[in-house]
Amino acid sequence: MNKKIALIYGDGIGPDIVKAAVKVLERIAEKYRHKFTFCDAPMGGNAIDEYGDPLPKKSVDVCLASDSVLLGAVGGKKWDNLSGSKRPEAGLLGIRKALKLYANIRPAKLFPQVADRSPLRKDIVENGFDMVIVRELTGGIYFGERGIRQGKLGREAYDTECYSEIEIERIARVAFEIARKRNKKITSIDKANVLESSRLWRYAIHEVAQDYPDVTVNDMFVDNAAMQLVKDPSQFDVIVTSNMFGDILSDLASALTGSIGLLPSASLNDTTLGLYEPIHGSAPDLGENVANPIATILSAAMMLRYSFDMTEEAADVEKAVDKVLCDNRTQDLWSEGKRLCSTSEITDLIIKNI
């Protein structure tokens, strides 16, 4: 099978971790006799420096012409003083919009090998957890009307939360389909006691639920959800929620696993073209060849599963990661008695186990 993959290396540790994932994909291609062609698509701070634009049009064209996109991370202090539309992070919103990526899939799993790194109490960690957060990605307050105006008390800023029924229904169906392949349980998170957008959200979720009688649905307010994630994350299987709530709660869930360096994500549309990236940032102060590439490597595994329907290949990568984590760590996970590995060293160990 031949596939074209666009690579957005990004900033900071981005190039190191993307190169690591590419090596893993090349090993998969070799083993299973696939052909992966890689094309560069500059985005973020490096694109600002070279083209004066966080997302050049030619990069969008490369992504649209590809079968999938692999992204490292963007941003850094160097560009912090730029206006919002010119910052590296504007490239993220732009590429999501250009590729119509409305569904963000973020697994949050506690790896038993590194359970001691979780900030949770030991009795909670012993239960383990394995959840998927399905976050709506192109609507809500991040894309609503915004601005600064003169108010009664002087200048005031506003950002508008707005969701259509169609936007809610389509993300709901993504969540229900995922739930059907897991434990058939969904928690829909909103703030329906206060927000009109959340009241419509709750109504639309339950309308879609009628088409999935085999899936159990319960509603939870976002403030309670944050508390429950800390008290007992094992109660969750599939979470579906809005753009802003999903942004916050998925970062909380990632912290419970012990390292944000282990967690991948997928952003999907109605086609097989997806964007895959670790959920962590660019960590520009970290230095070269020390970052944990596992989240990016597992994002590549999600690409194999969701965009290319290569389930065996994806499982091969995931099993290799599980095996390597038994005795090897990058600096973010290191503990006494374990081998301390650089980015390239742990990548080579994963490749060896595929």
CATH, residue 51:
3.40.718.10
**pLDDT tens digits for 5-54?**
999 999 999 999 999 999 999 999 999 999 999 999 999 999 999 999 99
Structural domain that includes position 21: 1-103+263-354
The answer to whether 267 and 101 have CB atoms below 8 angstroms apart is yes
Do 99 and 44 belong to one domain? yes
Q: Which of 216, 237, 256 is the last residue of a domain?
A: 256
- Domains identified in the chain, total number: 2
Specify whether 232 is catalytic. Answer: no
Specify whether 251 is catalytic. Answer: yes
**Percent of the chain residues topping a pLDDT of 90:** 85
Q: How far is CA 135 from CA 140, 184, 314, in A?
A: 11, 18, 22
Residue 87 token pair: 């910052």
Specify whether 32 is catalytic. Answer: no
> Which residue type sits at 261?
G
Specify whether 31 is catalytic. Answer: no
Do 293 and 199 belong to one domain? no
HSE value, Cβ hemisphere, 13 Å, CA-based, for 325 = 24
Strands 264-268, 103-109: pairing kind: antiparallel
Q: Which of 233, 256, 279 is the last residue of a domain?
A: 256
202 pLDDT more than 80: yes
User: What is the rounded average pLDDT for all residues in the chain?
Assistant: 95
Rounded to two decimals, the pTM is 0.89
Alpha carbon distance 179, 165 (integer Å): 21
For residue 187, list its beta bridge partners. 218, 239
Q: How far is CA 32 from CA 22, 178, 307, 312, in A?
A: 15, 26, 16, 10
Specify whether 247 is catalytic. Answer: yes
Helix or strand holding residue 146 (H, E): strand 146-151
Do 247 and 140 belong to one domain? yes
The catalytic residue among 80, 159, 223, 270 is 223
Do 330 and 303 belong to one domain? yes
Do 181 and 226 belong to one domain? yes
Q: How far is CA 108 from CA 19, 30, 132, in A?
A: 24, 29, 6
Q: Is residue 108 domain-resident?
A: no
pLDDT band, very low/low/confident/very high, at 84 (cuts 50, 70, 90): confident
Q: Is residue 44 domain-resident?
A: yes
Do 130 and 60 belong to one domain? no
Do 252 and 322 belong to one domain? no
Alpha carbon distance 34, 21 (integer Å): 16
**pLDDT tens digits for 299-330?**
999 999 999 999 999 999 999 999 999 999 99
